[in-house]
Structure formats: C-alpha cells, structure tokens
Structure 1
Amino acid sequence: MKTYALIGAAGYIAPRHMRAMADTGGKLAVAYDPNDSVGIIDSHFPDAGFFTEFELFDRHVDRLRRRGSKIDYVAICSPNYLHDAHCRFALRTGIDAICEKPLALTPQIIDELAEIERDTGRRISTILQLRLHPAIIALRERFAKSKKRHKVELTYITSRGRWYHTSWKGDEAKSGGVATNIGVHFFDMLSFVFGSASRNEAHLREPDRAAGSLECERADVSWFLSLDRNDLPDSIKGKNTTYRSITVDGEEVEFSEGFTDLHTRSYEEIIAGRGFGLDEVRPSIDIVSTFRNAPTIKSNGVHAFAQRAMHR
C-alpha cells in the first residue's frame, strides 16, 4: 500500500487525485491547503491529517518520517506557479512527487528540477493523462509511420464564470494564461502523436481565449482555446458548457468519453515505475512558454473559431 501527502486539497483537481489514491489501494496520510473547504477528504480518507499552514504540514511530514511512517509520494495540486516549489519540497524531504499539469511554467524551471532530481535521487512524475486515453494511443499508432503531413484542427471551449479572472487562474504570472492552464495537456497530446513542434505562432492571445498554429514533425496544427461560453457552437449553446474537437485531415477524432478514470490510470503507471517524467513533459512546456512570449501575427491559417471571435 502506498502512502501519500497532498498539497492543494481544496482545488478543482484534488478529488481526482484522492480517488486515484483510493482506487489503487493507497492511503492519504496528510493534506495541506490554505483554504479549509476540504470536506471531500471524508469521501475517501476521513482519518487523514489536515493543515492550513504549510509550516505545520511540513512539521507533520517530518514527524511521520522520524517515526518511520514512510510517505511514498507527495501529490501536488497547488496553483501552477507553485508546482516547482512544492516539487522541491517533496524531493528535498526524500519523497517522490506526483505533480498536476503544468509541471512548470518555463523550460528553465524543468532544468532546475532535473538538477534537484540528480541531487536527491528522487523522481518527479507528472499527470499527462491524454497519453493514456485509448483513442489518443490509437491515433499515435495510426500516424507513427505516416509519410505524409497531416492537417490537424484542435478546438477546446470550456465555459468559466467571472470567478475565474478573480482567482489565481486569471493571473497570467500565476497560471501561465489560457494556453497553459487549459491547453497544456492538449499540446502534450499533439507532440505525443505528431512529434515535436519546430514552428510555433501566436494568432490570438486574450484573457479568455487563445489561438495559434504549430508545425509538428508530421502535422500542421491550427488550434483554438476559449473560456467564453459565447464561443460555443450554436448547436450546443444552452445544452453543454464544454466543446472539444480534434480533426485530422477533416476527419473527427472521437475522444469525448473515457476521461473519468485517467487519473487512476496515471497513478497505476506511476506506482509501476512507468510515470511520465521531466523529459516527457518538456515539449508541451516549450510550446506554451514560447507561445506566451511570441508576438501575435496575422496568418492565413487562423483557426475558424478564432476568426469569428476576432470579428465578433
């Protein structure tokens, strides 16, 4: 049985980690969050310790270590800009880390984390759940040996309310912006299926939406991400709050199902020693970091959804 500590217990994604811990036969020993809306812990681990001050959490983890109560992993679900600091805490405490996406906001931070891995002998695994989705695995196998270039369009619209921009997620310095916060796992998926990106253009960069294009090894990609419900297709407005679509050479890739247990699958792989490490996460961080700092340019390849948004 694996034993866990959890940083960021009150966030949106933390329940998926708790469920993954429980589904894989694990135990949550202690959790930390500066906010105390963490009743979800009772659903899985009512005996877990909980702290709202990091220093007290740190002391408790140290006491567990000194008493011989080993913690195997620190699961990190904190705001994006704190991920690397909390990974450092785990590794320097002698514990492996499981970190939510994005692992870091810049490639430089990944280099620094690699040094700490070497210094401590501990490992950071990150959640790249789309690599475990059956439809995405099939897509990669289908195009792995393709000799032609493919045309890919990615559209992801997930409605968010006004709270989003009041929270840390609306602060680009803390979240990395829309492309990083809601798009990084899609960029990982694109590089996983079609190879690393050699060209990365920014066509639209706003607080609520982003669009650009990528030239991957085996595909030219046009993408659009949005938090604005007004960008939803008319056919689903008032019915659904999320729209995701990937087309390859005009053919829709069906992957709307199969998301619910991907964190559990991720934990299974990590426990088995097959987790995704720093080398796997680097391509997506390169993409979002380059996009964040690139000049916005006009192009004939602007995504159709982005064109409508720009002319609304």
Structure 2
Amino acid sequence: MTSSRMALRVGVIGTGGIAGAHATAIRELGGSVELVAVADIDAARAAAFAADHGGATVFASADDLLAHAGADVVCICTPPQTHAPLAIAAMRAGVTALVEKPTALSLAELDEIARVEEETGTQTLTVFQHRFGAASLRLRELVTSGALGRPLVAACETLWFRPAAYFEVPWRGRWDVEGGGPTMGHGIHQFDLLLAVLGPWSEVTAVAERQLRPTDTEDVSAALVRFDNGAIATVINSLVSPKETSRLRIDFENASVEVEHLYGHTNADWTFTPAPGHEHLAERWNTDLPDDGISGHRHQIAAIADAIAAGKRPDVDIVDARRTLEFAAATYASAFRRTPIAAGDISGDDPFMTSMSGGIVPWAPVKAVPVAS
C-alpha cells in the first residue's frame, strides 16, 4: 500500500495468545494498516492488550466494537465455537471478518456464513497465512503456468507435540468447542497449503485415533488423498510427535518441491530439485524471489489491505475455506465410517454436516439406554 492511501482500519475481537500475532503484523505494516479497536470478555486483558499495541480503543463487547469502531476489517481471535457467530455479526455490520482457523466448527456453519456473505455483500476471510509466503506464491505461480508439469505424488505432514497440560484449557480437545483435534486445529494450515497448490481433491481414505492424550477428539489422523488432477497425497496430523516438524513435498513431472519448517517457513526452508533435463527451472524458481521473512499474518494482512484498496476480493475466501474444511470433515467421516469419502458426499442431513465427529467417535463413551420396567 502507498503512504498516500488511507490506512486500513482493523479491530481485534479476543485478545488471547493468537491476537498478538495479528497486532504485531499490523504494527510491522506501518501506516498502511492501523489497529483501531479491541474487545474481549476480560476487560482488564483487553485494556492491557490495547496499551501494549499502540493504545487502540477498548470496547466492552464485540457488538459495541462492530457498531462504533469504524473498522474496515475485524480479526476474530476467539475460541473456535464463536467464530461463525462473530463472523456473521461482522458481516451484518458491514465489516469484513478475518477469522482464525477453523472458520467454523462444521460445514453447516460455514454454509450459513456463505449465505450471509451473499446476503450482505461483505466477506468472511480465513487466516491461512502459509499461502502468502514468497516461496509458496512462487510455487503456485509455476504450477499455474504449467512449467512444473503434472503433479504426481505429495506428502503433507504436521508432526507436533502437545503435552497433556496443553489440554487443560477448557475449550481444547472437545468436539463441541474446538471442532476436532490436530486435523481441525493444527494440520489444517499445512494441508490448506497443499490444497492451494494442487487444487480440488476428489476422494479421501483416512484413519483417526486417540493414541495418548486425554481428549474427546483424535490426537493423530492420516489420510490418503486423490486429487482431480490425478495426484495422490498422504496427509498426517499428529500432536504426539516429540520431534516436531511441518513438511510438505510435492513431486511434479519436472521437479520436486519441498518445504520443512515448524510454525512458519522462509525461503531458506524450501528445496527445489529439477528433474533431469529441466535444470533451467531452478533459475526460474530463484529469480527475483523476495526475501520476505517468515510466512505469517503480516503477509496475509498486507495482501488483504492491497486487495481492498484495489477494489478486489481478498483471499482466503469462503470457497477456498470450504474446500479445506470439507477435507477435514471427509477425513473424520472416512475414519469413523471406515470407508472412502468423495468430495460432495457430505451434504444434506448427513451428521458430518453439523459435527466433525458425526456422532460416531469410536472411543466415545456409550450412553446407557433406559430399560423399561
């Protein structure tokens, strides 16, 4: 954004841990984006957050912020079960919502967001910041141009470690509040990038288990995925892996491209290996690749600001967000039903439309059925 353009006015709802990443990103973008308002159910925490991040106006509630802050965009940084209601409230107030993942707890909630978006003409966007790093943008550019040839096989791994104490936070590890385990709340960033590169998926065959942690949800899932373009991928999500890593590798006809990092990638985390006879692609990969630091909220918020200033629809839009959320739902449905799930299979009154658990979690306690006397 240019300095002559008015700054994008941003509010933050929810001032817990992830909100700091939003505020830091806004500060790093200088005068092009301005944090103007914050709200939290904990008034003292909201006031401290505002003081730490430039003195934004503190509002007593999300509704007050949406009504009176004059924000262009509101970052929703609250626990997952509040995402859909707050996004809908923002759109009805004429404010673009930027929602932390997951956008909603279910496909039904996401479809309601889409309906309100169509009704109001105001967008809900989802934070999938790994799409916006320089190297990931370069990869998508090369894929779109056809330079890499057809994608053939891929591996997507989110192997993280969360101790039992992590789940002492009341909303973690619960289907009704968090929506799922690492498939919904952790690996979703990495497989969203996979989907952004490879496009529509056609079928998922998966397993999900509670291996170790004291949760209602899974702590491990694994999926075998077919894509419309013929590519085949494996996707693994874990919260019980002491050696932590996030890895995405895609093998195309003309090159292998791989990134390995933990919570954000830089250009140095990527490896580009051309196939014999296609060595020239390495130069195309490296030419004028900007060193823009670690992939993070700053890149996505900057892209949103630029798009809004240009009168364009920013990413990641509701269509892309639904494809990613449907992939998560299909992973659970396949795991718990023990059958492949095709894109579009989950619809209508399917229980996986309204809950990622589908009401059939294998390790859930069985409710006693009353016996007539």
3-state SS in 1 of match to 2:172: helix
State the alpha-carbon separation in 2 of the partners of residues 87 and 96 from structure 1: 8
Give the corresponding residue for 2:18.
13
Give the corresponding residue for 1:169.
172
Give the corresponding residue for 2:235.
223
**TM-score under structure 1 length normalisation:** 0.79
Deviation, 1:60, is: 5.2
Q: In the alignment, which of 57, 73, 76 is matched to residue 48 of structure 1?
A: 57
Cα contact 1:165–1:171 (8 A) shared by 2 = no
Aligned length: 279
1:75 to 1:149, Cα distance in 2 relative to 1, 3 A: closer
Matched letter for residue 333 of structure 2: N
Matched letter for residue 124 of structure 2: I
1:107 to 1:47, Cα distance in 2 relative to 1, 3 A: closer
Give the corresponding residue for 2:221.
210
1:71 to 1:47, Cα distance in 2 relative to 1, 3 A: closer
Deviation, 1:84, is: 0.8
State the alpha-carbon separation in 1 of the partners of residues 339 and 70 from structure 2: 55
Deviation, 1:28, is: 2.7
Q: In the alignment, which of 186, 189, 192 is matched to residue 188 of structure 1?
A: 192
Q: What do residues 183-239 of structure 1 show as CA deviations (whole Å, max 9, x unaligned)?
A: 222222111111211111112332322111111134211121111144x2xxxxxxx
Percent identical: 23
Give the corresponding residue for 1:236.
none
Confirm whether residue 28 of structure 1 aligns to residue 35 of structure 2: yes
Q: What do residues 244-296 of structure 1 show as CA deviations (whole Å, max 9, x unaligned)?
A: 22233495613533374531111111112233211121210110012122235
Q: In the alignment, which of 306, 315, 325 is matched to residue 272 of structure 1?
A: 306
3-state SS in 2 of match to 1:169: coil
Matched letter for residue 54 of structure 2: F
State the alpha-carbon separation in 2 of the partners of residues 84 and 264 from structure 1: 23
1:65-214 correspondence runs (5 A):
70-144=70-144, 145=146, 148-167=150-169, 168-177=171-180, 178-206=182-210, 207-214=218-225
State the alpha-carbon separation in 2 of the partners of residues 247 and 227 from structure 1: 20
Q: Which has the larger radius of gyration?
A: 2
Matched letter for residue 46 of structure 1: G
Give the corresponding residue for 1:237.
none
Matched letter for residue 196 of structure 2: F
Deviation, 1:44, is: 1.8
Gaps of 5+ in 2: 1-6, 211-217, 267-292, 308-313, 341-373
Matched letter for residue 165 of structure 1: F
Give the corresponding residue for 1:283.
323
State the alpha-carbon separation in 2 of the partners of residues 119 and 287 from structure 1: 26
Higher share in helix: 1
RMSD between superposed Cα atoms in Å: 2.6
3-state SS in 1 of match to 2:51: helix
3-state SS in 2 of match to 1:294: helix
State the alpha-carbon separation in 2 of the partners of residues 126 and 133 from structure 1: 16
1:59 to 1:286, Cα distance in 2 relative to 1, 3 A: same
Q: What do residues 110-133 of structure 1 show as CA deviations (whole Å, max 9, x unaligned)?
A: 221122122222222222212212
Cα contact 1:73–1:95 (8 A) shared by 2 = yes
State the alpha-carbon separation in 2 of the partners of residues 4 and 133 from structure 1: 22
Give the corresponding residue for 1:302.
none
State the alpha-carbon separation in 2 of the partners of residues 33 and 194 from structure 1: 38
1:141 to 1:119, Cα distance in 2 relative to 1, 3 A: closer
Deviation, 1:147, is: 5.2
Matched letter for residue 13 of structure 2: I
Deviation, 1:17, is: 0.8
